[in-house]
């Protein structure tokens, strides 16, 4: 972690991993690669590292079975081990690590798409993907989460949405009303069409909700695992669109289909100024006399957030 004297108030350094899917001979080799990366990010003074959705899927080759869903269920036997090791890395190297997503089983034996926030204080929190794709629902029989991915960290309040989640603007607005300043979106897309759905929606969420959005995806070709046989991605960090932000509202972006990383700073003070002095003010100028967003009773609020009170005061 950077020395405090190197930081200005509100400045956060983000690390984004564009992950190449390839075979791993063992879980230990997979974890060794992650540890090397996390240590390198720590040397760069990064506050958060974001991994892609399903970046652990190459480990399916270690769990042979006739059906892919059965392989996923078998892989959940190492989920706790993966999380314990990545949490150890986060604490050792003092970097908050967002694990992309890893399949897990619920206490009732249901398959879920889980993303873990491994904080550098050693604690771990979890987000379950709310919007499942047709493939996740029908081929893998996954079940969705029902809780917002909003978390308090040592760098402020952040949000996590997994891939398809970011294509639903209502969810992003609930996050904004809950005070999220940085939204992390791990994704996995097998085509340019799928990628651009994620990208354009992520950019829209940054602009309409006046926040930063980081997206991280897998790249490459792994025919041994049909779910990630083809992967297309261009990982990036998006900003609002106003005078204080980069032209085009893109802070950083990686080229397509190469294994690489982003290290980039974002400034929370710029968001504060935008909320109050922006050339347009998307959050303030909503016509609440004409429309409003109301969460269902089924949606569980994290952090004991009183969402209705937060919305009424925004």
- Tokens at 224, concatenated: 């041994």
| pLDDT at position 314 | 46
Residue 73 DSSP class: H
Residue 265: CB atoms within 10 Å: 16
Q: Are 161 and 151 in contact (CB under 8 A)?
A: no
Residue 162 DSSP class: -
Handedness of CA 118, 196, 295, 269 (dihedral sign): positive
| pLDDT at position 305 | 61
| pLDDT at position 226 | 87
Q: Is 220 left (phi over 0), alpha (psi -120 to 50) or beta?
A: left
Mean pLDDT of all residues in 238-258: 96
pLDDT band at 307 (very low <50, low <70, confident <90, very high): low
Q: What percent of the chain has pLDDT over 70?
A: 94
Mean pLDDT of all residues in 287-304: 84
- Tokens at 94, concatenated: 């003092």
| pLDDT at position 311 | 47
Mean pLDDT of all residues in 181-196: 97
Active-site annotation, residues: 53, 129, 163
Mean pLDDT of all residues in 279-306: 85
SS3 label, residue 112: strand
pLDDT band at 251 (very low <50, low <70, confident <90, very high): very high
SS3 label, residue 95: coil
Q: Residue 102: is its pLDDT beyond 70?
A: yes
| pLDDT at position 296 | 87
Q: Residue 302: is its pLDDT beyond 90?
A: no
- Tokens at 241, concatenated: 């669109």
Least confident range of 148-157, 170-179, 274-283, 296-305: 296-305
Q: Residue 5: is its pLDDT beyond 80?
A: no
Q: Residue 212: is its pLDDT beyond 70?
A: yes
Pairwise pLDDT comparison (121 vs 300), residue with the higher score: 121
Q: Are 292 and 231 in contact (CB under 8 A)?
A: no
Cα 51–93–128 angle (5° rounding)? 35
Spatial distance between the Cα atoms of 115 and 145, rounded to a whole number of angstroms: 11
Q: What is the pLDDT of residues 50-96, one digit of tens each?
A: 999 999 999 999 998 879 999 999 999 999 999 999 999 999 999 99
Residue 296: CB atoms within 10 Å: 6
Mean pLDDT of all residues in 260-267: 98
Radius of gyration of the chain (CA): 19
Characterize 242-258 residue by residue with b for buried, 16 or more Cβ atoms within 10 angstroms of its Cβ, and e for exposed: beebeeeebbbbbeebe
Handedness of CA 101, 104, 108, 111 (dihedral sign): positive
Mean pLDDT of all residues in 153-177: 97
Least confident range of 49-53, 67-71, 186-190, 211-215: 67-71
SS3 label, residue 100: coil
Spatial distance between the Cα atoms of 90 and 87, rounded to a whole number of angstroms: 5
pTM listed for this prediction? 0.94
- CATH for the stretch 10-313: 3.60.110.10
CB burial class (10 A; 0-12, 13-18, 19+) of residue 2?
Answer: middle
**Residue 135: partners with Cβ closer than 8 Å, 6 or more residues away:** 227
């Amino acid at each position: 972690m950077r020395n405090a004297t190197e930081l200005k108030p509100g400045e956060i350094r983000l690390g984004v991993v564009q992950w190449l899917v390839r075979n791993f001979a063992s879980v230990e080799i997979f974890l060794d690669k992650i540890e090397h990366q996390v240590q390198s990010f720590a040397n760069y003074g990064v506050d958060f590292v974001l991994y892609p959705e399903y970046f652990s899927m190459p480990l399916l080759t270690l769990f042979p079975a006739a059906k892919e869903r059965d392989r996923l269920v078998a892989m959940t036997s190492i989920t706790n081990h993966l999380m314990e090791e990545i949490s150890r890395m986060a604490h050792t190297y003092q970097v908050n690590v967002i694990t992309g997503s890893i399949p897990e089983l619920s206490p009732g034996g249901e398959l879920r798409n889980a993303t873990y926030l491994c904080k550098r204080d050693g604690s771990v929190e979890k987000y379950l993907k709310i919007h499942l794709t047709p493939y996740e629902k029908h081929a893998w029989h996954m079940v969705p989460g029902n809780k917002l991915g909003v978390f308090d960290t040592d760098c402020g309040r952040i949000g996590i949405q997994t891939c398809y989640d970011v294509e639903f603007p209502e969810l992003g607005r609930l996050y904004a009303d809950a005070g999220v300043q940085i939204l992390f979106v791990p994704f996995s897309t097998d085509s340019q069409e799928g990628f651009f759905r994620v990208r354009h929606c992520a950019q829209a969420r940054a602009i309409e909700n006046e926040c930063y959005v980081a997206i991280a995806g897998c790249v490459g070709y792994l025919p041994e695992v049909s779910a990630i046989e083809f992967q297309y991605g261009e990982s990036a960090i998006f900003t609002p669109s106003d005078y204080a932000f980069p032209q085009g509202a893109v802070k950083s972006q990686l080229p397509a289909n190469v294994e690489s990383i982003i290290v980039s700073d974002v400034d929370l003070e710029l968001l504060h100024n935008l909320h109050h002095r922006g050339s347009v003010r998307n959050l303030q100028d909503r016509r609440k006399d004409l429309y409003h967003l109301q969460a269902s009773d089924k949606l569980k609020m994290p952090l004991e957030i009183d969402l209705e009170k937060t919305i009424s005061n925004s």
